[in-house]
Amino acid sequence: MSVLSDATIRELIAAQTITIDPWQEANLQPASVDLRLGDSFRVFHNHRVACIDLHNPPANLTEEVLIAEGDAFVIHPGEFALGRTLEYVALPDDIVARIEGKSSLGRLGLIVHATAGFCDPGFEGTLTLELNNLTRVPILLYPGVPIAQLSFMALDRPAQRPYGSPGLGSHYQGQRAATESRYGSRPQRSDQLESEANLDPGPTAREERDGD
């Protein structure tokens, strides 16, 4: 995969092949686009659960916080919170993207993504940021400030099942707010559902399924 240059990004934006809304030409970098911080955050309420069990992920572990224009979101030392980009991004079936933190912010101790740096072909929505303050002092985050950068890579051919395809488990397609984890809620693939539908589950299993 080759990384797209500023000229190619500009052409794809103009052709509406890639969507970045709102678009500002000043945010275009040599091989990436700067993204700004949105106003939606999710904070964790650790007192609600004793632990996070990946076999049974907890629900309602986070709460959305909306920050008014001119106000700041305070992320305290060692704290983890979710945010989102101001820009809404949409990718075609033959381009993937990678979101990275800005080096100037990393040198201040702010991490903007722990693991979720990859955007699949076909994805659209705002990008959820995994914010972590590694310093010993609070950091004030203002909506609208540059927070990350997005680079693009071309696939050798369009994806056969791009993000958002039926049965793929595209939990975050179309998201517009900071979105909490939906780990464990991945739906079964359509071929698995069809295979199970052709099996006679027996009286007991059939009764249980009807009661779901």
Q: What residues are labeled active site? A: 130
DSSP 18-43: SEEES--GGGEETTEEEEEB-SEEEE
CA gap 150, 99 in Å, rounded: 5
91 closest CA partner among 27, 169, 20, 10: 20
Instruction: Compute, in degrees rounded to 10, the torsion defined by CA atoms 130, 135, 136, 137.
Output: -80
Distance in angstroms (rounded) separating the CA atoms of residues 83 and 128:
6
Q: What are the tokens at 186?
A: 């991945």
